Chains A and B, each alone.
Chain A
């Protein structure tokens, strides 16, 4: 199967690989997995006090499309609010990377990782308000 140029670019030069301090109250972590292909994706976002994502890092074990999907979303996330991030749809990711139908699930994984990271930061913020 041929990968699109955009997938290859992200796969060969993945952006924002790494981790953020998970104990930082402004850092949200999203972790998701797909048993069908054994992919695991970890996405971390750092949010400032105005709810804007300042930094995003990822670590993904999986195929080229899964790595490209996570790499792409870390680029997209920076500068967006967490609500805007939450609204990102897997179809946008799939379209940008020209993913073939058999690889659509990789973009689903990336969307779900964003949602999980946003949920985590919201839970952290709620805990902070209560404290």
Chain B
């Protein structure tokens, strides 16, 4: 909960929206990183040193939050006072959950068979789905400002992001 007041979008000079320029994100992050690097504050006052350290930590958090589309969507909703992953909200469209089960089964099967090409193929399939959901989110957040539909859609992206992370992990373990 480092510096809860800092708005991650403002930190990088971005408008609060889903679509961001990832190159500028990278560039602005590097700038803040080097400006707040501890080496530059060796002879500074304790206060300044602490400040620069906090800035570096916040920038790290902000960068990783905005870089990943799933966490970026979740953060945008947080700014609207919406918790996309509330424990009490377990309802999801049935067909989406069925699809999740199928992906999970394919992941388990491919993992058990140590089949890296199958894992990579599944990953590609999920990335296609992820891209299409991201396009929906860009429309819902930036054009329509429909945060209720954006919440439902962001939940899907968070799910897919998790399966992708698990596939990456499975591939790493097999390699």
> Which residues does A use to contact B, with CB under 8 Å?
31-38, 40, 42, 59, 61, 104-105, 108-109, 112-113, 116
Contact = CB atoms under 8 A, between A and B. Distances in A.
A35 B100 contact: no
B92 A38 contact: no
Contacts of A105: 87
A109 B100 CA distance: 16
Interface string B85-120: 101101110101110110010000000000000000
Given A31-B97, A35-B158, A42-B97, A61 B90 contact: no
In the A-B complex, the 10 residue pairs with the smallest Cβ-Cβ separation, listed nearest first, are A38-B162, A105-B87, A36-B85, A32-B90, A35-B158, A61-B104, A112-B90, A33-B92, A31-B97, A35-B155
9 contacts: A31-B98, A32-B92, A32-B97, A33-B92, A35-B85, A38-B158, A38-B162, A108-B90, A112-B90
B140 interface: no
Nearest to A112: B90
Contacts of B97: 31-33, 40, 42
B86 to A, nearest CB: 8
Given A35-B155, A35-B159, A37-B162, A59 B101 contact: yes
A121 B21 CA distance: 48
Contacts of B155: 35
B163 interface: yes
Given A35-B155, A42-B97, A112-B91, 13 more contacts: A31-B97, A31-B98, A33-B92, A33-B159, A34-B85, A34-B90, A35-B162, A38-B159, A38-B162, A40-B104, A61-B100, A104-B87, A108-B88
